[in-house]
Amino acid sequence: MRCLRSSITCISRAKIVSLPVTRGIPSSGRTGGLPAPPRQRGCGSSVSPGGAPACAAPPEAMRASCAQAELESRLFCDFEQSGMSQIFQPLDGWFVTGATASGKTAVGCALAERIGGEVISVDSMAVYQGLDIGTAKPTPAERKRVAHHLIDVLPPTEEFSLAQYVALAHQAAADVRSRGREVVFVGGTPLYLKALLRGLYTGPAPDWQFRAEMAARAASERPGWLHAQVARVDPAAAARLHPGDRRRLIRALEVYHLTGTPLSTWQQQFEQARPAEACRVFWLDWPRPVLYARIEARVDAMFDAGLVEEVHRLLAAGVHFSRTARQALGYREVLEHLHSARDLAATVALVKTRSRQFAKRQLTWLRSEAGAEWFDALDSGAIGRMSGRIGEWLAGEAMGGPGMR
């Protein structure tokens, strides 16, 4: 099977730089690398929870859904097998974002329809097949009106990383543009948005066994042991990482273990390679009390629509949620409820609380994003003004002015 590098060399806008991964000396002083973690499945075996092929969606759900699903599944497998570090440059496009329950999906779909575009989802959990109610995916009617990408890519048994998402997003954007269509990114996952807008140095693929060993070792050592190990091999990374940030400390050790080069060195190379931004971000904003009321109404609607039953069906079908799938807001709490952690009323209340907390984090990130254009979500003319702004930018580009690309 082709590696990711060969499968994306045609993406002229992506400007992706491939960096070979070599095994280095791990922080423990041992030479060589640890065995690769066992794979949960082979490539090409993407199956929905019910046992049907992953692309066996209703024909109205997405234009060319089978072809797109096969493309995305192939690229997902290629990336998983490649063992390559990648530098992904920022993607240009139109971005519709906002906090959870802000109406991004409907506005993004309407905007794409108006400007002749297709939607690329920026939702870390909408990639999972079968996780439908809790992720508020676009409706079949919306997906029939406008083609959507990066939805229902893989089963919830699979791990899914930021790097895998960005690789798929670059491929999807190239596919959309190859047909003369505009790209409209719609979603609110801050980490994914940042990677699309700023670019991403992926580092090598995760070594789950190494991570588990480091976590176990850290648990048995004195406080600060992980930070001391990072300081020994990557002082620059240690200087910016909090001693209690176990996840990032282990990642810094992992990169050095797998490549023999400090993470900070790779990141410096990425910063030097990153071009200027070429994107436009539309931010849908609601008054805070209205947004919180919408969040509570959405959570109630999710449970009324059968969120608990959806999770129960997946478990009954033998689905074992991966680490990343278990992080999905609403699903984690329902899984805990089904394992008798709390009653249903307490579960609903907890999902509402965590949804509000997530919205706060989204809004904090959006306010820090320079260049994002604020639109009043209560204004019925917002979509018209967005498309008008796009027309202005495209006209400026055609005249040789400060266009988007």
Answer for the pair 252, 234: CB distance below 8 angstroms, yes or no.
yes
Q: Give, as one character, the DSSP assignment of residue 247.
A: H
CA distance linking residue 129 with residue 28, whole number of Å? 40
Percentage of residues of the chain with pLDDT beyond 90: 56
User: Is the distance from CB of 134 to CB of 156 less than 8 angstroms?
Assistant: no
Q: What radius of gyration do the chain's Cα atoms show?
A: 22
> Which pLDDT band holds residue 390 (cuts at 50, 70, 90)?
confident
Which residue in 352, 354, 334 sits closest to 343, CA to CA? Answer: 334
CA nearest neighbour of 342 among 102, 353, 239: 353
CATH fold, domain 63-199+274-398, is: Rossmann fold (3.40.50)
Write the class of the CATH domain 208-269: mainly alpha
Whether pLDDT at 391 is above 60 = yes
The tokens for 254 are: 């992992």
pTM of the predicted structure, to 2 decimals: 0.70
- Residues contacting 289, CB < 8 A, separation 6+: none
Question: Tokens 């994002």 sit at which residue?
Answer: 372
Q: Report pLDDT for 46.
A: 33
* pLDDT given at position 78: 41
Residues constituting the chain: 405
pLDDT at 379: 85
pLDDT at 58 over 60: no
Helix, strand, coil shares of the chain, percent, nearest 5, are 50, 10, 40
Q: What is the mean pLDDT of residues 88-108?
A: 92
The mean of the pLDDT values for the chain is 79
| DSSP H or E stretch at residue 183 | strand 182-186
Domain boundaries, the chain: 63-199+274-398, 208-269
The pLDDT value given to residue 272 = 54
User: Residues 367-382: what's their mean pLDDT?
Assistant: 84
pLDDT class for 237, splitting at 50, 70, 90?
very high
Q: Average pLDDT in the 137-150 region?
A: 96
Single-letter residue type at 94: W
Answer whether 109's CB lies under 8 Å from 146's CB. Answer: yes
- Of 65 and 93, more confident: 93
